[in-house]
Structure 1
Amino acid sequence: MNISEMKQSLAGLDAVNFRLPTGEYLPAHFHVTEVGLVSKHFIDCGGVERKETVANFQLWEAGDYDHRLAPQKFLHILNLSEKILGNEDLAIEVEYQQETIGKFGLTFDGTDFVLTPKQTACLAQDACGIPNAAFALPQLQVASCTPGGGCC
């Protein structure tokens, strides 16, 4: 999801809800503590120089159980953040504290914002000798086990 999609989604909502990949909802009293611009300039293991820039939202919860972030307030925060983010329609990355700070992608299902898992990957698989095809795990054969059949 990018900034323009989030603004469009917020415009039609009565409440802002975020859901973790597990299906569990963030507490309704969460805060958006930061909206930032995160740039990453790096070299992959194949020696290719790369740059990534995302809009980063940090979500946090405190003991103020009466706090509720209205969609209009969230839009206001996004509009204020244009000073930092500029006018580029950036992809959104979300940080949320769990056992450690988790980084998530973001989608919208028509009602809720859904935090999506992010994965690491080798960006230079050909240089590392990793085949392009995804590794497939062998399919387990389900067979009925009978006494003396040798399967147990």
Structure 2
Amino acid sequence: MKISEMKQTLPGLAAVNFRLPDGTYLPAHFHVTEVGLVTKHFIDCGGVERRETAANFQLWEAGDYDHRLAPQKFLHILDLSAKILGRDDLDIEVEYQQDTIGKFGLAFDGQDFVLTAKQTACLAQDACGIPNDLLALPQLQTACCSPGGGCC
């Protein structure tokens, strides 16, 4: 989901609800504690330099059970964050505390915002030395580097 999609969606909602990939809802008293610009500058296992930029929302819950984030308040937070996020229509990623900080993608199902699972992937599959027919195996779809594979 992109920032523009969220801004278009929020005015039509009576409440802001987030659901985890397993179907569990975040408590209604969650807070948006941060909206930030995250830039990742890295080299993949094939030696290619890359950059990724996303808008990051950090969701958090506290013991203030009467707290509810209204759609208009969320829009106000997004408007305030424009000076950090700039004018680019960025993809949104969400951080939410579980056993450790979880990092999710974001979608909208027509009623709720849905935190979507993110996966790792090899960006330099041609440099890994793993035959294409093996890359189709489920255990290799999220990581390509293996001992002796030549990329790491």
Report the TM-score range of the alignment, normalised by the length of the smaller protein.
0.7 to 0.9
**Contact residue 93 and residue 104 of structure 1 kept, 8 A:** yes
Report the counterpart of residue 41 of structure 1 in structure 2. 41
Which one has the bigger helix percentage?
2
Task: Tell me how far apart the structure 1 counterparts of residues 14 and 118 of structure 2 sit (CA, whole Å).
Answer: 28
Distance change in 2, residues 1:44/1:71 (3 Å): same
The alignment's TM-score, normalised by the length of structure 2, stands at: 0.88
Report the counterpart of residue 135 of structure 1 in structure 2. 137
Report the counterpart of residue 82 of structure 2 in structure 1. 82
Q: Which moved more, 1:21-30 or 1:127-136?
A: 127-136
Task: Tell me how far apart the structure 1 counterparts of residues 24 and 33 of structure 2 sit (CA, whole Å).
Answer: 20
Cα RMSD, aligned residues only: 1.1
Q: Which moved more, 1:125-134 or 1:103-112?
A: 125-134
Task: Tell me how far apart the structure 1 counterparts of residues 129 and 6 of structure 2 sit (CA, whole Å).
Answer: 39
Matches within 5 A, 1:5-16: 5-16=5-16
Q: Which runs of 5+ in 1 are unaligned?
A: 138-152
Q: Which runs of 5+ in 2 are unaligned?
A: 140-152
Report the counterpart of residue 72 of structure 2 in structure 1. 72
Task: Tell me how far apart the structure 1 counterparts of residues 27 and 59 of structure 2 sit (CA, whole Å).
Answer: 11
Task: Tell me how far apart the structure 1 counterparts of residues 131 and 26 of structure 2 sit (CA, whole Å).
Answer: 39
Matches within 5 A, 1:81-120: 81-120=81-120
Bigger CA radius of gyration: 1
The alignment's TM-score, normalised by the length of structure 1, stands at: 0.88
Moved segments of 4+, more than 6 Å: none
1:135 aligned partner, one-letter code: L
Number of aligned residues: 137
